């Protein structure tokens, strides 16, 4: 069993640190609810990736190839969920979050979101294709090691985006600034949702 951990870590850091639905949502969550309350969301993303890598390495990719409708269904569900999140963000206020109204995503919600997140599927399917050794006798062990490595590497990368949101909080106290931020983040999620819906190469 030979796994190139340096290349794996670099790839996971690149995918985890670049813009996408997860990082946009983490930034918005930290702005509205603070970094500490966003930690379960971050851990849910990492755990979701671990599950996805395991499932993909153990042949979910074959299901996608044989039943393309599965991809279409996931794409539509992801589109609808991102549109819902955009709607929620438009009505959010930092002041309201500090008084206890609203909430960030729970751990399990963040885990489940990865299964309708197009960037997450690109991430995990590529990891499985590039780094899974061709040693079928150690498939489960290899998949587990790769999945855990991916989950660990992703955490500090996405934490940067949550930290960015935390840093923005004090600059967004004015209602107008908060409104502009909400519109920008909601628009980014809507654009991502439509791209996901129309793209033929999401997975």
Q: With residue 25 as reference, give the H or E element that holds it.
A: helix 21-33
pLDDT single digits (tens) 39-55: 999 999 999 999 999 88
Residue 158 has pLDDT above 90, yes or no: yes
Greatest pairwise CA separation for the chain in angstroms: 60
CA distance 179 to 175: 6
Helix (H, G, I), strand (E, B) or coil at 19: coil
Q: Which residues contact 132 (CB under 8 A, 6 or more apart)?
A: 57, 139, 142, 143, 146
- Average pLDDT of 15-41? 90
Q: What does residue 187 show for φ and ψ, rounded to 5 degrees?
A: -65, -40
At 168-177, the pLDDT tens digits run: 887 777 777 7
At 55 the pLDDT is 87
pTM assigned to the model: 0.73
- Condensed to tens digits (0 to 9), the pLDDT of residues 180-190 reads 777 887 787 67
Of the pLDDT bands very low, low, confident and very high (cuts 50, 70, 90), residue 64 is low
Pick left, alpha or beta for residue 23 (phi over 0 → left; psi -120 to 50 → alpha; otherwise beta): alpha
Each residue of 72-118: pLDDT tens digit?
676 677 677 777 777 777 766 554 444 445 788 999 999 999 988 87
| In the block, residue with structure tokens 């990736």 | 49
b/e 38-49 (16+ beta carbons within 10 angstroms → b): bbbbbbbbbbbb
């Amino acid at each position: 069993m030979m796994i190139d951990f340096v290349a794996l870590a670099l790839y996971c850091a690149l995918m985890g640190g670049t813009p996408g639905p997860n990082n946009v949502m983490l930034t918005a969550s930290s702005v509205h609810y603070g970094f500490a309350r966003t930690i379960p969301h971050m851990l849910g993303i990492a755990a979701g990736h671990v599950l996805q890598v395991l499932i993909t390495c153990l042949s979910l990719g074959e299901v996608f190839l044989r039943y393309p409708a599965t991809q279409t269904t996931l794409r539509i569900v992801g589109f609808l969920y991102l549109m819902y999140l955009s709607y929620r963000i438009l009505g959010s206020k930092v002041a309201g979050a500090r008084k206890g109204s609203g909430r960030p995503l729970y751990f399990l919600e963040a885990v489940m979101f990865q299964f309708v997140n197009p960037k997450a599927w690109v991430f995990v399917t590529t990891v499985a294709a590039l780094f899974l050794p061709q040693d079928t006798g150690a498939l489960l062990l290899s998949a587990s090691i790769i999945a855990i490595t991916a989950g660990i590497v992703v955490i500090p990368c996405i934490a940067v985006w949550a930290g960015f949101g935390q840093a923005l909080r004090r600059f967004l106290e004015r209602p107008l600034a908060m409104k502009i931020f909400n519109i920008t983040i909601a628009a980014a999620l809507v654009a991502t949702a439509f791209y996901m819906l129309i793209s033929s190469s999401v997975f």
